[in-house]
Each structure stands twice: as C-alpha cells, then as structure tokens.
Amino acid sequence: MMWLKLGALCLLLSSSPFCDGFSTLFPTDLGLAEEDEPFMPREREELDDCHIRYNRYMRTEAESLDPFEPYPEPRENGHVAAVGLTRKPGNTIDWLCMGTLIWENVVLTTARCTVQEGNTEPDVVRLGGGQYFPDSTITPADSEHVIERKVSAIVRHPQFNPITGQNDIAVMKLDTIVRASPAVVPACVWLYHEIPFSRMESVGRSVPQAGPKSEIINEVYLQRNKNKCATFGAGICMERNRTNVVNVCSTAARGDILQRRLVHNFATSPFLIGLLADHSSDGSCPTLRSYAPVHQYRDWLIEAMQQLETTATRSSFHPVACALRYVHVRPRVDNLLYERIGDIPRFPVGLEADEERYLNYIVQLVWPPGSPNARNNCVATFVEQTVLLTLAECVLPVNPTSVRTKHRYRSVSFEIADIVVHPEYSANSPRNNIAVIKLKTRAEVVPSCPWLYPMLPDRVDYTGIGRGNLNNFLADTPDDSSESLPTFVQPAVTTQPWPVCGHFLANLAARNQTVPQFTEDEHLCFGDEQWQVPDGCALLKGAPVQRYVVRAGGFIKQLFGLSLAGQFCGLGLPSVAVAVAPHASWLRSVVLKPLVQAGRSKSKGSSSALIFINPDLKRSDECTDGRGSLGICVPHEECLSTREQLNSGGHVTLCTNGSIICCAWGDIARGNRPAQPAISPVQAELDGCEDRYRAVREERFVGFQENEDDYGNLPSVAEIGWAMSGGKISFPCTGLLITLRTIVTTARCVESNGRKPTVARIGSIGAGPQTSYLLPPIRRVTVHEDYDETSGLHNIALITLSEPIVATPFVYPGCLWKNQTHLPARTQLLSLNDYEPRIITHFVHPMYYSECRERLADSTTGLLLNGQMCMLRESPESKFIHTTPCFATGSIIRWENTTANPEIIDAQYLVGLYSHGDCRKNDDVMLVIRVSDYYDWIVGNIK
C-alpha cells in the first residue's frame, strides 16, 4: 500500500480514478479551500461548524491501493464454449455453434445446435478461448488456457420443435469435470421471472474475411417493448445500441448468449439471461433481436441437471450462491477499488468490524415494547454527538424512545430527549420528510457533518443494508459461501442530473397509482447503470448519502441526503434522497434553539454568566472586562463579544446600566473604536513579532535547506532548569521565549521544586552537532498575583533572563496569540520525552466553553476557571488504537501561521500552556491556560 499526504497531491488526484467510492470514497475538494486555517469561537455561533468542532477526528492521510497487475489470462469470456462435431476421415472438427458453461461439467446451448444432418450430434466442447472463438487447431498461445472435453450425454427439451424453433434449449454433459480457473469458469443463470435490466450484452461470433480465428463479439443491446418485436413472437426484444463503435457484429451462430454482468465483492459475474431465438443468415447485422428467456425453462433445467446426475440443485442457481462459488476467479472492477481509501475488508467479519468502528454513527431506532408502528426499515444518522437526522416518516405516528448502534455481539443504546419533525411535513408525502432527534447524553461517535451548500460531488457513498459476504474483496481466495448476516454497506454511485430520474419516478407512479411529489429543489438523485447481485444492497430509509470532503486541513464525512426511495441503493435503478441543504434554515432553528432561548446550552453543572454593574463606570471610561482584559465602556451592540460574554458563564461587567458593556479593545467593532492609549514598547515588540524576526526566519530557511540536522531544533522553546546536587541541572518543564529576555510558562512549572528556577536552556531541543543553543541564567520569576495552587486559577508566570539574548536563526522569540474571541481549530502540543532530549508533537483541539463545562461536570479534572480553556487530544477516525500520554505542566500549545511564501520558516504562535488534566482516559478534557486572556497581564508585567 502507498500513502498519500493530504494537500496538493490529494487535490490533484481527486479528479482521477484513484480519487473518484469498502471504506469510503477518496476525499474530494468541493471548493472550500479557504477553510484550510479554521478558527473556533468561544461559543457556538453557526450550524455549519461540524468540520471545526470535530476537527480532532479528521483524517489527514489517504491510503490508496497500488495498481493491480494485469491478468495473465483473459477472464471476460471464460464461460463461453465452442460446440463442435468431429468429422471423419481426418478427425477434423467443425465448430458448429456456441454454448455456455453453467456447471463444472454442463454446457447449456440451443437444441438446434445438438441436432445435425444425419442425426449426428456434437461430441466435443472447447473452453478458454478468451476473446477468440476456437478454430480447428489450438495455437501455442492458447494452449495454456484452452481445454477440450468430450460430450458424454445430451438432454434436449422434450417439446423442442425444430421447425418452429419452440423450446430451443438443451444441456450437454462433459466427460470430465472442468476445474474452475480464471480462464474457464461457469456462468450464473438468471432464473427470476422479472428481468429488470434495460441494458444487456449480446455475446456472439464474428467470422473475419481472413485469418485462422473467429472473434467473440460482446455487443450492448437495449431492451425494447415487445410490440417492436412482434414479428419475432414471444421473447426478450433487444435493439442494438447505436452508440457501439464496433464495426462488426455477431453472425448469429446458434447458442448466442444474452447476459448481464453483475457486481459483487468488487468483481463481476456473468448471468445468462436468454438464448438467441431468431437466426439471421451469416453476415447480416440485424438491429432487432429476440432472445428466449432462460427463466421460463427453470423447472426443466433443474430436472435435466438431475437427469445428468450432477450435484446441482435449485438453490445452486441462486444468484448469491453462484456469485460466491466462483468469486475468486472473477474479473475485479479496478475503478471501484481504486476510488476507495482505507482498508478494504477481505472477509464479512471485516465489514462487521467496520460497522462497529466506522459506521457506528448510523443507528437503529428503538420503539416502546409492543409498538405496532415500529419501523424496522429505518435508521438515523449522527450529525453531532447529541443530534441525529432521519426521515419524518420514520418517527411518526409513534416516536421511538431510543437509538441503538448495530453490531452482532454488542450494541450501545442512547435515550432520546426530543424529536422535532419538520412542521410542513404531511403523512405519506416526500416533501419536508425530515426530522431531528436529540439525545439525553453525548455519544462518542464521529458524525457525518450536514452539507449545507448547493454543490455536490460526482460520486457518493449510498448507504444501504446488504449481505456482508457480497461486499468484501476476495482476491484469489475461494469463499466458503457461508451465510452472512445483513450489515450496513456503502456502494459508490454517481450523482445524476434530475431529469435522469424521470423514468424511475414514472415507474413508481405506475406502481403506486399516484405521482410522488419529488422535486428537484428538495430531492437528490443517485445511480449507476452497473447492477449488483441481488441482496448486495437494499434500501434503508433515512440512511446517509455522503462522501469524505476536504475541509479545514483534513477530510471528514459530509452528509448530502437521507435515503428515501429506490430498490438497490442506486445500482441499476436510480435512488432518491431527501437533500439536507434545502432544510438548512429549519435545521439551524432546531439544532441551535437551546442557544437562542437560554443564551447557552443547558447542561449538567452549567451556570449563567455573573453580571456585575459598576455604577462608577460610564460610556468611554476605561475598564477591565470579566476576562481580565483592558477595554472601554461602549454600547453593547458595538461590542463584538457581547453575545460570547453572556454565553460564557464567566464574569460580565456592565457600565452604569444594562446597555453599556465593558468591551476589550480588540472586540470593539471597527468604526466605533475611540482613540486608544499609546502603545507601550513591550506591546509594540509583542505585536510586531512576525515582522521583527522575518529576516531571521528567512535565514533559518536557507540554513535548513543546506543542513536539516542543525536547523531542526525548536528555536523558541525554553527548558526551565534547576541546579541540583553534583553540579547537574534538571529541566522538568518548558516555556516559550516571547521577547529577547522573557519566557512565559505556568506558575506550577516555576514552583514545582519549592524554589525558583535558576537557568533556561533555549533552542536545544532537536539540536544538531552545529546548532548554537543558549543557556542563559534567570534573573527574576513573576507569578500571577492571584495564582491558586489548589485550583490552578491564573496558572501563569513570566521568567526574565539576566540579559537579552541575540536573535539568531537557531534561537529567536515566538509570537503570542492575541485574539480573544477565536482560536485555531488545530494546534500542536509539544511534549517532552522522558527518555531523550526531544519533543513529541500531539495535535490538540479547543472546545466550546459550554461543552467544556458539560464534560467537566462529570469528570475529576476540575472546574473551568477564568483564563482557562478546554482542549481534547487528536483522535483520528482512521486510527484504531489511541495512546493517552501524560503531559507536563507548562507544555507549549502552538499554532503555525502558514503563509504563501515558500522561502521562509513560518511564524509560531503560543496559543496556550497545558495546565492539568487526567491522562488516564483517552477522551478526558485537558485544561489549558488561554494565553490571549493574559495578554494585558503579560504586557504589564514584562520588565
């Protein structure tokens, strides 16, 4: 397997067969590249935030299969047989007609083929000719794959009429068994009365003007109304596809086949549907043809197989049984494999594992015991960890009480708190057929994010229910044909223009006697011409139609629609889904309703904001807001963070009355900002960080190109040291150099040894043999005056060096993240390795403050205090086992400001400092010092 890094290569490949959908379709870019650097507010503001909120689950690498080796033998026509008669003298063979191998020792052909002049009968069969119809001799090139068998018995239909051609069918038993191989393998036989395929393939013989071999021709024919073939009598009326580019056509040798190749296990099997009924003269190329359907001889065929003393039974001809019996020698469908990412299950148990691991966001609905209206054909899809979408018809007239994950051995149930059906939905109508389910507790699943935009990808995953042993990939491995329980399956289908669904909708109308009210503005159409073996995938109402989409620096599942109508998941016949995007406004009002009504999510352990009214403050007075930031009193509508402050659950300071609020300088809307105080030299140095050290970062880039080892260190990371006995120095925690003589770290770091640190080591982590790192002494340590060791409140400190350092490409200050309303959605935590002097990078992600408080209410980590924020470790959906390392207090959390300039080292911003958290649980919350909340304190305390 080869790994493709996400980025330009992935986007480039998204239009190739490798990136077109059993795991998921290769991720595609739908034009939202501006989200590569997403930022997260303190509280939720928009419905379309799933890719930011659940960024921790995103995949960042795409796995694609290596190209398959071409087959050494032809596999398409391994079932086609040449039926011959040995002529004497000379023992030459006349190849009279065609047949189809349907069992290891049985060939099906026409009865006319078995009756020759003088009552002679064919006595030899040749198989494995590939694309050629055998002549009288086998060439050396053919000998490896071509085999011959003698005919030992023939059974014709007892009512065969050689004059009229009625019941023109026969079977021939071979003298020895033919062992199935990639070059010679029996076809399946379609014995169902209904033939749903409109497009089929005619396999016939074309004799060239010169040359030793006649070619097997595979032509596409379209099924037509019987009236068009009235002169041919009963049968399957087929018309030659006029778009064929083949210059020759079958000469209608007796035994010509009408077949359809059906997909299963990422391979195809040919299904024999009919035998040519009309026999045109050699050399003609008729437009219309009539084929006798094989299904009308089903009972006779089973009796004939028994008469020939074969092991075949009626169940042997079931499509699933036949498909699995020869799956290991069928030709694979490369494009279906190449467009997948991740591990493709090779056995049904692999599908069950995927169902538990990747597909647990699709759940069954559970009704009260004995409910007469339970819908077992419906599912719901997680779009958030407490919110699901399904069809309105699935939850009416009786509401389900819970949802349950589907797995053979274990499942998890979640109790439903509320169900909201679209107010304009009417029973039995496809219009507004959508509902929201809200749970009482959060589920640890990776949701499928609702897609709220009009653009759609070319290919999607259409979720249905099917047999697991038809949807795994078996390469050269025989299947035991064992039973497989139904499982969620996701075949790839193509997004179709709405007019393509017209024929399908007309059929639905004919069956239901009413015209379904499907509309282009509310419904989506998906489908492919390629049919699947029956039981491969069936409709599952409310199931997700989705695809992985490149967003926010990774790729995540996006939900385009909910499955509504169609038989086979869009394979063969189109399927219709309820589009999610047209209902965006309604969804926003329902999903965000708790935020709108209560000002924040109601959750266990949450509290309202504490509002302080300071009567001494008036409009335009300087003030300090509830987060400790310097600001000014302005009307609440001019403060961009008013809503956020009210939703945060922290302190809110009002000036004089409720209409004037203390607003941080950076949160005042442009055009309304009064003149600010003069900027201090320290503030100017911090704010100008990127420009101030640009030349040093450009020089570092040049050095890195010449010698990666010496320029692979962390130039702004400082290790905080204490002198120990024996002259040794211990460096148990870290901080970040933010000015030429100032390091910021946590108070717990500087007080961890009961005395102040004495020395810092800067730029040594990752240093090479020629790296010039520094070891300056510490002059002063400044701990936040309100630091509380027990709770971790205001856990921040500054370290002042004895002398300013000189910035070099090896050592220079990093920048401070100043924005108080938003954080980067994807940051890096730098963790010290206990065994060697190097840093391990862990991606961590911020949370909404309300969600943080909800999680902390049920944990032992503590409460969310002023100046803190919550973060979660990265937990990629594709990673099976997640490690839970413990981090040291003061561990740096940084963000890289990626620029378009390829010849500079990008600036690193300090976003937070790890404070504390319980590392024993993978999903436990980490409490982090939010540096931007202490920007003013830092400026005021740098000496």
The full set of domain ranges for the chain reads 80-329, 348-591, 618-661, 682-941
Give the residue from 756, 831, 763 showing the smallest Cα distance to 799. 756
User: Which pair of structure tokens corresponds to residue 557?
Assistant: 């599942």
> Average pLDDT in the 826-844 region?
78
Q: How many CA atoms, within 13 angstroms, populate the side-chain half-sphere of residue 280?
A: 20
- pLDDT at position 256 over 50: yes
Q: What is the pLDDT of residue 122?
A: 93
Q: What is the pLDDT of residue 212?
A: 53
CA dihedral over 867, 868, 869, 871, signed as positive or negative: positive
Q: What is the pLDDT of residue 284?
A: 59
State the Cα–Cα distance between residues 91 and 89, nearest whole angstrom: 6
Q: What is the pLDDT of residue 751?
A: 92
Q: Is 78 exposed, middle or buried (0-12, 13-18, 19+ CB in 10 A)?
A: buried
DSSP, collapsed to helix, strand or coil, labels residue 389 as strand
> What do you get for the CA distance between the two ends of the chain, in Å?
56
User: Which pair of structure tokens corresponds to residue 604?
Assistant: 């266990």
DSSP-assigned states of every residue in 405-436: E--SS---EEEEEEEEE-TT--TT-STT--EE
Q: What is the pLDDT of residue 599?
A: 35
Count the Cβ atoms, other than its own, within 10 Å of residue 334: 14
Q: Is the distance from CB of 287 to CB of 240 less than 8 angstroms? A: yes
Low-confidence winner among 130-144, 531-545, 565-579, 666-680 (lowest mean pLDDT)? 130-144
> Average pLDDT in the 44-67 region?
88
Q: Is the distance from CB of 549 to CB of 558 less than 8 angstroms? A: yes
Res. 357 pLDDT band, cuts 50 70 90: confident
Res. 761 pLDDT band, cuts 50 70 90: very high
Q: Quickly tell me which residue has 């390469």 as its tokens.
A: 475
Low-confidence winner among 227-236, 331-340, 399-408, 425-434 (lowest mean pLDDT)? 227-236
State the Cα–Cα distance between residues 576 and 558, nearest whole angstrom: 17
Q: What is the pLDDT of residue 721?
A: 94
Q: Is the distance from CB of 157 to CB of 297 less than 8 angstroms? A: yes
- pLDDT at position 460 over 50: yes
Q: Is the distance from CB of 526 to CB of 562 less than 8 angstroms? A: no
Domain 682-941 has CATH 2.40.10.10: yes
Q: Is 32 exposed, middle or buried (0-12, 13-18, 19+ CB in 10 A)?
A: middle
What is each CA distance from 857 to 557, 794, 851, in whole angstroms?
30, 20, 10
Looking at residue 531, its amino acid is W
- Of all helices (H) and strands (E), which one includes residue 181? none
State the Cα–Cα distance between residues 884 and 860, nearest whole angstrom: 16
> Average pLDDT in the 178-201 region?
93
> Vertex 924, ends 921 and 929: CA angle to 5°?
135
> Average pLDDT in the 855-876 region?
85
CA dihedral over 113, 114, 120, 125, signed as positive or negative: positive
Q: Domain 80-329 adopts which CATH fold? A: Thrombin, subunit H (2.40.10)
Q: Quickly tell me which residue has 């209904």 as its tokens.
A: 194
What is each CA distance from 265 to 102, 420, 509, 510, 939, in whole angstroms?
20, 39, 33, 33, 64
State the Cα–Cα distance between residues 253 and 95, nearest whole angstrom: 10
Average pLDDT taken over every residue of the chain: 84
- pLDDT at position 673 over 60: no
Low-confidence winner among 30-39, 181-190, 723-732 (lowest mean pLDDT)? 30-39
- pLDDT at position 597 over 50: no
Q: What is the 3-state secondary structure (H, E, C) of 612-667?
A: EEECCCCCCCEEECCCCCEEEEEEHHHECCHHHHHHHCCEEEEECCCCEEEEEHHH
Q: How many CA atoms, within 13 angstroms, populate the side-chain half-sphere of residue 112?
A: 20
Q: What is the pLDDT of residue 6?
A: 31
Find how far residue 371's CA is from the centre of its chain.
35
Q: What is the pLDDT of residue 475?
A: 67
The torsion angles phi and psi of 367, rounded to 5 degrees, stand at -105, 165
Find how far residue 112's CA is from the centre of its chain.
54
- Of all helices (H) and strands (E), which one includes residue 222? strand 214-223
What is each CA distance from 293 to 115, 232, 259, 272, 926, in whole angstroms?
21, 13, 10, 9, 68
Of 37 and 449, the structure prediction assigns the larger pLDDT to 449
> Average pLDDT in the 414-434 region?
95
Looking at residue 922, its amino acid is N
User: Which pair of structure tokens corresponds to residue 369?
Assistant: 């015991």
Q: Say how many residues make up the chain.
A: 943
Please state whether the peptide bond connecting residue 89 to the residue before it is cis, i.e. omega within 30 degrees of 0.
yes
Q: Is the distance from CB of 874 to CB of 843 less than 8 angstroms? A: yes
Count the Cβ atoms, other than its own, within 10 Å of residue 513: 6
Of 410 and 456, the structure prediction assigns the larger pLDDT to 456
The residues with which 267 forms a beta bridge, in sequence order, are 264, 332
CA dihedral over 904, 905, 906, 909, signed as positive or negative: negative
- pLDDT at position 275 over 70: yes
- pLDDT at position 395 over 90: yes
> Average pLDDT in the 224-244 region?
70
Q: Which residues contact 601 (CB under 8 A, 6 or more apart)?
A: 44, 594, 595, 850, 851, 854
Count the Cβ atoms, other than its own, within 10 Å of residue 143: 10
- pLDDT at position 887 over 80: yes
Query: For residue range 285-334, what is the model confidence (pLDDT) as tens digits?
Result: 677 888 899 999 999 999 999 999 999 999 999 999 999 999 999 999 99
State the Cα–Cα distance between residues 308 and 98, nearest whole angstrom: 20
> Average pLDDT in the 809-813 region?
96
> Average pLDDT in the 652-678 region?
73
Find how far residue 694's CA is from the centre of its chain.
40
> Average pLDDT in the 857-884 region?
81
Looking at residue 9, its amino acid is L
The DSSP symbol for 59 reads: B
User: Which pair of structure tokens corresponds to residue 122?
Assistant: 């064919």
State the Cα–Cα distance between residues 187 and 322, nearest whole angstrom: 8
Of 902 and 252, the structure prediction assigns the larger pLDDT to 902
User: Which pair of structure tokens corresponds to residue 697?
Assistant: 């970062």
The DSSP symbol for 712 reads: -
Domains 348-591 and 682-941 share a fold: yes
- pLDDT at position 232 over 70: no
CA dihedral over 904, 905, 907, 911, signed as positive or negative: positive
- pLDDT at position 769 over 80: yes
State the Cα–Cα distance between residues 565 and 296, nearest whole angstrom: 30
Query: Among residues of the chain, what percentage have pLDDT more than 90?
Result: 50
Query: For residue range 603-653, what is the model confidence (pLDDT) as tens digits?
Result: 333 345 567 777 778 888 888 777 767 788 888 888 888 777 776 656 788
Q: What is the pLDDT of residue 906?
A: 93
Q: Domain 348-591 adopts which CATH fold? A: Thrombin, subunit H (2.40.10)
The DSSP symbol for 218 reads: E
Query: For residue range 467-494, what is the model confidence (pLDDT) as tens digits?
Result: 988 998 876 666 555 567 888 999 999 9
Q: What is the pLDDT of residue 2?
A: 29
DSSP, collapsed to helix, strand or coil, labels residue 896 as strand
CA dihedral over 188, 193, 196, 201, signed as positive or negative: positive
> Average pLDDT in the 218-238 region?
72
Q: What is the pLDDT of residue 882?
A: 62
The conformational region for residue 843 under phi > 0 = left, psi -120 to 50 = alpha, else beta, is: beta
User: Which pair of structure tokens corresponds to residue 880?
Assistant: 């099976």
